[in-house]
Amino acid sequence: MALTKSSDAFVPAKPARPVTTWALRHVSTSIGALGRLARQPFASLMTILVIAVTLALPAAMHVIIKNVQSISGSWENALDFSLYLKSGTSIEDASRLAELIGKRADVQAVTLIPSDEALEEFKAQSGFGAALDHLTENPLPHTIVVRPGSSNTEQSITLMHEELANLPETDFVQADTEWVQRFHAILDMLQRAIAIGAGLLGAAIVVIIGNTIRLDIQNRREEIEVTKLIGASNAFVRRPFLYSGLWYGLGGGLLALALVGYGMFALKEPVGRLAGLYNSPFSILSLSFTESLLIVGTGVALGLAGSWLAAARHMRRIEPR
Amino acid sequence: MIRLEDVSKRFPGGQEALKNLTMSVDKGEMVFVTGHSGAGKSTLLRLIALIDRPTGGQVIVDGQNTRRVSRRKIPAYRRQIGMVFQDHKLLYDRSVFDNVALPLVIAGVSHRDAARKVRAALDQVGLLHKEKRSPETLSTGEQQRVGIARAIVSRPKLLIADEPTGNLDPDLSLEVMRIFRRFNEVGVTLLIASHDIALIDQLGCRRIPLENGMLQVEEEEDFVSEYAERIGIDVEPGPWR
């Protein structure tokens, strides 16, 4: 078509419907950015790998802590009180008391161990069998083992402990909760430490991606100048770099998931074997869907943040000369 | 279309590229800015394209005072003007088609419309058959025509060109000027910086001669003093002044 013959030659260019155009433009920019990464597969893969490892470290630590918590959590549920009754208490009184305690709403189960049974068991397990035969009377008291219900809180457990200790028949209540509590405190501390570490590693990802994007911007300086010269806004010039950051983050996040997943897979069998040796039904807990989503989302967010910082800093300075 | 009122441009080093320049270009005109390199031609075009801002005076383009165009509005302002450069400023990592389409992509024109317009623009510069080529594989003259196609693809009312024939031999230069002429015939205003006097005379367009950042109005006087200098005599300011 020759310009001289065209009657509508100077109707200004009309943009198409804004929303569709906007969406199409983003789709094509994002694919363009992906294509650019694909054209340098080795460099892109290296960047993605660094991000993946950086994300996988805290994620793996989190999974380990989560598994340890699930094991130790079952210990806490299995935390029983041993109620040693005064030595004069008759077996009838003991069983009546056991029945009474068993009726409490906050108690899940009650087991009465009569002193005779306890002695038999002790003889069998301690290896002092022959020596104990010489005892004229049984030194062991009747024992009531109380298993609190799972709805109990720490306070209600403490309260129950006090109540049981104050019963007239009670000689002594043993509840060995302290080491479990210490263990949980250690786990909490580790978890906090991992959170701090994860924050630092996140900052590292922002820096890594920011630096990669900065180099990319420098390499494409001329292109940016020309595009600005023919009327591109800062947002337009920035967009492909933001998408690069997004792809780096997404790739890193997905690869981190794969790394953690592979680690879990490799541990599943030996852990199962170990649990089998302890007669435990425990099987290793993997990342939940939400956690996986969080890891990938974190990758994407950090990728965007890094590229945004780099683009905002360097894009403004590149003006046509 | 373009009006400069008392425009000065002084660079940070103190060098004055334009001194109190007043000039105008009417709608539909095709005007050449001439002068030696360093006369201020490029600076003038840079002020119009808002690559630089004047240190004094007003630059008014299509009724818009460039002083009132904020930094954020510069991209939209530039999109109204077609620009052609001596070194083409093409992007060598993409095809001829994509280069010409760039202004439309920036403006957010839909893909179908864009393809149609790009082909029309390439047709106008006679490069329709080379749309899939990389600019690198084209000759200098062809690259310049790609640059021109890109400048006119969004159909601007004003086209400015800085030494568009600077790297071309006379035949190719004339070809480029003929393309410009055709745009002018359909109403585009053109302001072209060039030092190729012979070529401009051939076209018979108005000239704005610049010298040392000022309008060079008294050509005869310059001729006399230049001539006097050449033959080595002192000339007192005479009655012709």
Contacting residues of A for B120, CB less than 8 Å apart: 1, 3, 6
Q: What percent of chain B has pLDDT over 90?
A: 39
Residue pLDDT, tens place only, B63-102: 889 999 988 899 999 999 999 988 889 999 889 999 999 9
Provide CB contacts within 8 A for A275, sequence distance 6+. Answer: A281, A282, A283
Contacting residues of B for A1, CB less than 8 Å apart: 120, 123-124
B12 shares contact with chain A (CB less than 8 Å): no
Interval B47-64 mean pLDDT: 90
A27 shares contact with chain B (CB less than 8 Å): no
Q: Are strands B64-65 and B158-162 parallel, antiparallel or unpaired?
A: unpaired
pLDDT at residue A145, rounded to an integer: 86
Does residue A26 surpass a pLDDT of 80?
A: yes
Closest CA to A232 of B75, B150, B102: B75
pLDDT at residue A176, rounded to an integer: 64
Residue in A closest to B107 by C-alpha: A15
pLDDT confidence band for A5 (50 / 70 / 90): very low
Residue B110 to residue A11, Cβ atoms within 8 A: no
ipTM: 0.82
Side-chain-side CA neighbours of A5 within 13 Å: the count stands at 5
Tokens coding A141 = 């008291």
Residue B186 to residue A231, Cβ atoms within 8 A: no
Contacting residues of B for A319, CB less than 8 Å apart: 51
Q: Regarding predicted confidence, which is higher, B143 or A184? A: B143
pLDDT at residue A25, rounded to an integer: 78
Distance of residue B79 Cα from the nearest chain A Cα, in angstroms: 5
Q: Regarding predicted confidence, which is higher, A147 or B50? A: B50
* Residues making up chain B, counted from first to last: 241
Residue pLDDT, tens place only, B192-227: 998 888 888 888 888 888 888 888 765 555 666 666
A229 shares contact with chain B (CB less than 8 Å): yes
Does residue B236 surpass a pLDDT of 80?
A: no
Tokens coding B117 = 């317009």
Residue pLDDT, tens place only, A241-268: 999 999 999 999 999 999 999 999 998 8
Distance of residue B7 Cα from the nearest chain A Cα, in angstroms: 20
Provide CB contacts within 8 A for A304, sequence distance 6+. Answer: A242, A245, A246, A249
Phi-psi sector, A280: left (phi>0), alpha (psi -120 to 50), beta: beta
Helix or strand or coil: residue A246? helix
Interval A87-111 mean pLDDT: 85
Name the average pLDDT for chain A.
84
